[in-house]
Structure 1
Amino acid sequence: MFVKYLIIFLISMVPIVELRGAIPVAVGMGMEGWQLFWAYVVCVIGNMLPVPLIYFFARKVLIWGKDKKYIGKFFTWCYNKGEKGGKKLQAKAGRGLFIALMLFVGIPLPGTGAWTGTLAASFLDMGFKKSVIAVMCGVVIAGIIMGAASLAVSMGAGGIFSLLAPKA
């Protein structure tokens, strides 16, 4: 069982895939009940672990690597994506930036996870504590959505309702 938790922990730390890919893997591995609950907790922790590093160092590393021969194009793309995401979020959110960041991270679409959200928050100089809390709330929301969607696919839509129905 430890190996299964380790696998989903590592998957949830990978950019782009993150918790959105790790939870369906956990469901696909046959985790259910309390195992699935603990898998969810492991995925949230794994997804949040890189957040402080991203907040404090990602922008500096991207700026450093933008003019390098082999990695310059990729680093420039990542830098521009973070800057564009931050500006777009700021323009739409105004003073509701915390909620906007939380929803941005919480809606499980490609490119809207904890990595991109944290990078955007660092570009906006949002503040570390506020950024981490907003991203964590978003990761929790995304995890709930992905867990429900994964269970619905694996059990069929009727399976979800049978889990919620009171036992006789």
Structure 2
Amino acid sequence: MNFSQLLKVFIFSAIPLTEQRAAIPIGIAQYGLDPVSTLIVSFLGSLVPVPFILLLFNVVFKWMKKYKFFNPLNKIIENKIQKGTGKIEKYKEIGLIIFIGIPLPTTGLWTGSAVAAVLGLDFKKSMLCAAIGGLISAIIITLITISVGSFASLFS
């Protein structure tokens, strides 16, 4: 195992634009890392920002709203949060797990954690739901990456 490549997967999975959806395919397809190791490292990396988002999102977002400079970013954030709020608000913990667990654009640990913070959901429950959803997402992405790689090798 290449430690520097695993570290890159860990970091990619913690970044909001890449998260697990990019980190896992990069680890498996580009770096040739073991799928299980890649899944575990990506899962752990994606959890790093969650407690900070749950605890600090509302404070930072409120501060950003005071300055016109942040208006374009605030609008993007508000739109992302509004898309997830209804489902999570209605189904609470199960909604949060599903929202995070299904690896689609505008879903994931960053957005799910931000929505949980905005809705004022319980911190411990939100952490647990984020972990469960993140694990589900990591498994789905890993299976898709392996499947696509196997399918592509048929045509090589």
Scaled by the length of structure 2, what TM-score is found?
0.89
Gaps in structure 1 of 5+ consecutive residues: 160-168
Aligned to 1:138: 133
What residue identity is the alignment partner of 2:7? L
- Matching residue within 12, 30, 33 for 1:31: 33
- Matching residue within 139, 146, 154 for 1:151: 146
Q: Which moved more, 1:127-136 or 1:23-32?
A: 23-32
- Write 1 or 2 for the structure with the bigger share of helix: 2
Aligned residues: CA RMSD: 1.9
- Compute the displacement of 1:73 (Å): 2.2
Aligned to 1:42: 41
- Compute the displacement of 1:16 (Å): 3.3
Query: CA distance change for structure 1 residues 158 and 100 in 2, over 3 Å: closer, same or farther?
Result: farther
Aligned to 2:115: 120
Query: CA distance change for structure 1 residues 83 and 123 in 2, over 3 Å: closer, same or farther?
Result: farther
What residue identity is the alignment partner of 1:16? L
- Compute the displacement of 1:83 (Å): 4.8
1:31-73 deviation line (CA, Å, top 9, x unaligned): 13xxx21221111111000001100111211111123132222
Q: Greater Rg, structure 1 or structure 2? A: 1
What residue identity is the alignment partner of 1:74? L
Aligned to 2:105: 110
Distance 2:55 2:102 in 1: 24
What residue identity is the alignment partner of 1:65? M
- Compute the displacement of 1:84 (Å): 5.0
Q: What's the % identity of the aligned pairs?
A: 34
**Number of aligned pairs?**
152
What residue identity is the alignment partner of 2:6? Y
Q: Secondary structure at the match of 1:24?
A: helix
Moved over 4 A (4+): none
